[in-house]
Amino acid sequence: MRIPSLLAAVAASALIAHPAAAQRTAPPALAPVDPAVAKLRDAALKDDIAWDIVEGITTEVGPRLAATEAEARARTWAVAKLKALGFKNVRIETYRMPVWLRGEEKAEIVGPFPQPLKLAALGRSGATPPEGLTAEVVYFPTFDDLRAAPDGSLKGKIAFISNQMEPTQDGSGYGQFGPARFVGPSIAASKGAVAAVIRSIGTDHGRGPHTGGTNWADGVTPIPAAALSVADAENLERMFARTKGPVTMKLVLTPRMAGEAESGNVIAEVPGTDPNAGIVLIGGHLDSWDLGTGAIDDGAGIAITAAAAKRIMDWGVKPRRTIRVVWFGAEEPGGFGGRAYAEAHAKEKHATASESDFGADNIWRFEVNLPDGAKPVADRLASALAPLGITRGRGVGGDGTDIGPTLATGVAAVDLNQSGLRYFNWHHTPEDTLDLIDREQLRQNVAAWTTMLAIVANAPEEIGAVTPRSGN
């Protein structure tokens, strides 16, 4: 299409005034890819090991609530599976922790529009009396509205905190909207509330509630706290819009703290040839919430990382660095396994740490936190991961609850970021089941992790200490 003469003149003058706008510089040349690494990467796109692991753990064990008999069965299952795959030095490292158990969960609107609600207690929630409690509900459209409520204003009331989470590729919405669950009930209790319910921290619109842990500030006595399904939270919002009178809820929640019990980390290794080069730490968490079968959170993560390590083990080239696969226990109730691991292995040299705990959808980005002398490692990763549709991010790597305590000691990081556009539709819900996992996307994950391990575990560069990114 021809540009009218006046517009053409304006466009031409703009290019003269800003010559940089008239050209694009070529990107830096990619580092060459080792043909053996490329072959290994491409073969992993046909992987079936990861599917077998996640199918096995969800079918043969199912939900794996931390420090329960189910998580203990998962550890036994994990040891047998990792030994059968050929890993070395397979063992369990145990620790003690408090146990929270779910009880009865029921809620209903008593007036003005009587009807039942779907909800799930939040981890570490307090309990109602066995017969439940009935109280007026106070509606807070956002978490900030709750924070702004005067002290004592919720005495004898149930706080309802609603905020609508939107899907994002990087999962940043969880950090923005998650505080309603992380600390919302504690704030409500400090203002006098007898209970708190939140809109589930999820991006769906269904009736499956999203559970998850909540935290109580020092000096705050836990109150009953639960997440309403997104659909029921939206319905409750409409009730407030359609009445000028009070909205009353009856709530029955009977969870309990059950003393202390044993949890543990399952560890397996692919031994390296250079004991001074440091350990490449990878893994995910073995435990899960108890509503679904823990397929995407985090059966997929333990499957992806172990499958990739298995492929390196079977490559025929012994890695320079030992690859240590850790299936962490008790991540969901507060990262107990990650802290226990960091304490138990504080004297060992770790080269890098990475974890997979964001489902099984395609990896789209990688980010690193490497010392200056190991920058070429990131360049090789960029070249080798590009054919998988993975680009290099501009942020500083070092993400993950389980590896966080290890990263905080100055260990370098490589993050492989999965797409979060679907993840929070099912995160911590009864729908977290095997059918959510796409086999081809799972294989892309395995290919990416295999590529990363092949490069990082064999890098000739020294990978020393780094400055941890803020937050770890």
Using CA atoms, how far apart are residues 102 and 322, in angstroms rounded to an integer?
40
Helices (H), 45-149: 49-60, 69-84, 143-148
- Least confident among 17-21, 257-261, 442-446: 17-21
Using CA atoms, how far apart are residues 149 and 89, in angstroms rounded to an integer?
55
Backbone angles phi, psi at 80, to 5 degrees: -65, -40
**Is the domain of 289 the same as that of 410?**
yes
**pLDDT for 387-413, tens place per residue?**
999 999 999 999 999 999 999 999 999
**Is the domain of 128 the same as that of 249?**
yes
**Is the domain of 273 the same as that of 361?**
yes
70 and 61 Cβ atoms separated by less than 8 Å: yes
Domain count for the chain, please give it. 2
Q: Residue 357 to residues 13, 133, 285, 301: CA-CA distances in angstroms?
A: 52, 37, 7, 5
Written as one string, the DSSP assignment of 344-376 is HTTTS-EEEEEE--S-SSPEEEEEEE--GGGHH
The active-site residue, picked from 269, 331, 332, 355, is 331
**Is the domain of 355 the same as that of 300?**
yes
**CB contact set of 164 (below 8 Å; sequence gap of 6+):** 177, 199
**pLDDT for 4-57, tens place per residue?**
333 333 333 333 444 444 457 777 778 899 999 999 999 999 999 999 999 999
Q: Does any domain span residue 426?
A: yes
**pLDDT for 265-296, tens place per residue?**
999 999 999 999 999 999 999 999 999 999 99
Q: Does any domain span residue 216?
A: yes
pLDDT for the residue numbered 16: 40
**Is the domain of 325 the same as that of 366?**
yes
pTM, two decimal places: 0.93
Roughly how many angstroms between the first and final C-alpha of the chain, as a whole number?
54
Q: Does any domain span residue 468?
A: no
Using CA atoms, how far apart are residues 341 and 155, in angstroms rounded to an integer?
42
Q: Which two tokens stand for residue 355?
A: 């974890």
Interval 249-264 mean pLDDT? 97
> What share of the chain has pLDDT > 70, as a percent?
94
Q: Which two tokens stand for residue 153?
A: 């204003």
Interval 424-432 mean pLDDT? 98
Tell me the pLDDT band of 216, cut-offs 50, 70 and 90: very high
pLDDT for the residue numbered 471: 65
Interval 329-341 mean pLDDT? 98
Using CA atoms, how far apart are residues 265 and 262, in angstroms rounded to an integer?
11
**Is the domain of 49 the same as that of 124?**
no
Write the single-letter amino acid at 34.
Answer: D
pLDDT for the residue numbered 472: 61
3-state helix, strand, coil in the chain (%, to 5): 35, 25, 40
**pLDDT for 159-201, tens place per residue?**
999 999 999 999 999 999 999 999 999 999 999 999 999 999 9
**Is the domain of 278 the same as that of 391?**
yes
Mean pLDDT, rounded, of the chain = 94
Q: Does any domain span residue 353?
A: yes
pLDDT for the residue numbered 25: 73
**pLDDT for 101-146, tens place per residue?**
999 999 999 999 999 999 999 999 999 999 999 999 999 999 999 9
Q: Domain end: 212, 233, 254, which one?
A: 254
Q: Does any domain span residue 233?
A: yes
pLDDT for the residue numbered 248: 98
**Is the domain of 250 the same as that of 273?**
no
**Is the domain of 248 the same as that of 198?**
yes
Using CA atoms, how far apart are residues 295 and 332, in angstroms rounded to an integer?
14
- Give the domain range for residue 202: 103-254
Instruction: Establish whether 331 is a catalytic residue.
Output: yes
**Is the domain of 93 the same as that of 171?**
no
**Is the domain of 270 the same as that of 389?**
yes
Q: Does any domain span residue 24?
A: no
Q: Which two tokens stand for residue 243?
A: 């009445």
Write the single-letter amino acid at 99.
Answer: V
pLDDT for the residue numbered 14: 39
- Least confident among 14-28, 75-89, 456-470: 14-28
Using CA atoms, how far apart are residues 383 and 399, in angstroms rounded to an integer?
22
Domain at 184, CATH number: 3.50.30.30
pLDDT for the residue numbered 258: 96
Domain at 277, CATH number: 3.40.630.10
Q: Does any domain span residue 470?
A: no
Q: Which two tokens stand for residue 322?
A: 């030992």
**Is the domain of 272 the same as that of 392?**
yes
Q: Does any domain span residue 464?
A: no
Q: Domain end: 254, 284, 300, which one?
A: 254
Report whether pLDDT(67) > 80: yes
Q: Domain end: 215, 238, 254, which one?
A: 254
